[in-house]
């Protein structure tokens, strides 16, 4: 299943773009079937998976930390500006906490994770493909899909929920800091005002979809890298495409999951 050949500087037609889209979706489906076929069969490559989890989490840590503080801070400032004229600032902690837990922390963390991790996986596997390292592994008796794809997809699926929990915590602190600057609100009062509005079901709804987001980031990046063609130019195209496709799928899945959670 090959993508249309694209020469350097050549702009794809709309038909070629449409064809590429359906090839990508079908390819991801095939990769998904292969992943679930191999993920539960030995050897399990636990150490390799742990290494990728550490790598993905460590490299994403600075950017999600910055994003988390800013998102909480901005949400609280905007909420305060809206509620303060109506004397409704007592509802601010609950609205900030609920927005962060259910939507902002999961979706924004996933999009940043896609930009950082999906592109990295695609670039790494793409480079291995064009330099024939994957073919060499296959010839030497190592299952390349198991070692290269399954470990990375599993690591991305497991680490994103942990990053999201961290972002939720620091976003709430960022939100409190904004409220403190504007209103001098006590931290204990802020948390006590937030808890009645935030239920365990909200946390479950927010975190459950991050497993799907992490899986999408891993499988799209792996597919784009593993199926790279066209040398270094192909690696660049695959890296860019991995970010775009994984981000769009994350937004689409989020739309469906929000609807399901509100039923």
Please give the model's pTM, rounded to 2 decimal places.
0.89
How is the chain split into domains, by residue range? 45-261
**Long-range contacts of residues 193-200, Cβ cutoff 8 Å, at least 24 apart:** 193/90, 193/92, 193/93, 193/94, 194/93, 194/94, 194/96, 194/97, 196/94, 197/91, 197/93, 197/94, 197/95, 197/97, 197/98, 198/94, 198/97, 198/98, 198/101
User: Which pair of tokens denotes residue 117?
Assistant: 């991790």
User: Which pair of tokens denotes residue 139?
Assistant: 């010839």
pLDDT at 44: 83
Whether omega for the bond prior to residue 43 falls within 30 degrees of 0, making it cis, is yes
Indicate the SS3 state at residue 199: coil
Are 60 and 213 contacting, i.e. CB atoms less than 8 angstroms apart? no
pLDDT at 166: 96
pLDDT in tens, the chain (263 residues): 444 444 444 566 667 767 777 888 888 999 999 999 999 888 888 999 999 999 999 889 999 999 999 999 999 999 998 888 888 788 899 999 999 999 999 999 999 999 999 999 999 999 998 888 888 887 887 788 999 999 999 999 999 999 999 999 999 999 999 999 988 888 999 999 999 999 998 999 899 999 999 999 999 999 999 988 877 788 888 899 899 999 999 999 999 988 887 77
- The CA distance from 182 to 40, in Å, is 53
pLDDT at 230: 77
pLDDT at 85: 84
pLDDT at 234: 82
Are 239 and 132 contacting, i.e. CB atoms less than 8 angstroms apart? no
pLDDT at 160: 96
């Amino acid at each position: 299943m090959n993508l249309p050949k694209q020469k350097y500087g050549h702009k794809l037609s709309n038909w070629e773009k449409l064809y590429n889209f359906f090839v990508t979706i079908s390819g991801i489906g095939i990769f998904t079937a292969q992943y679930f076929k191999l993920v539960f069969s030995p050897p399990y490559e636990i150490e390799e998976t742990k290494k990728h989890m550490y790598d993905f989490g460590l490299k994403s840590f600075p950017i999600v930390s910055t994003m988390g503080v800013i998102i909480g801070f901005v949400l609280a400032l905007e909420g305060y500006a809206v509620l303060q004229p109506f004397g409704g600032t007592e509802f601010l902690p609950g609205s900030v906490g609920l927005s962060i837990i259910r939507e902002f922390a999961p979706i924004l963390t996933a999009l940043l994770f896609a930009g950082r991790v999906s592109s990295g996986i695609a670039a790494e596997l793409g480079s291995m493909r064009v330099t024939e390292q994957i073919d060499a592994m296959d010839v030497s008796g190592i299952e390349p899909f198991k070692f290269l794809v399954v470990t990375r997809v599993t690591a991305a699926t497991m680490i994103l929920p942990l990053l999201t929990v961290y972002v939720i915590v620091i976003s709430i602190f960022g939100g409190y800091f904004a409220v403190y600057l504007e209103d001098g609100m006590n931290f204990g009062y802020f948390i006590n005002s937030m808890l009645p509005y935030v239920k365990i079901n909200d946390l479950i709804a927010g975190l459950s979809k991050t497993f799907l987001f992490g899986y999408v980031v891993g499988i799209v990046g792996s597919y784009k890298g593993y199926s790279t063609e066209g040398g270094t130019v192909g690696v660049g195209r695959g890296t860019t495409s991995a970010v775009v496709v994984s981000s769009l799928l994350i937004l689409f899945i989020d739309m469906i999951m929000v609807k399901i959670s509100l039923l």
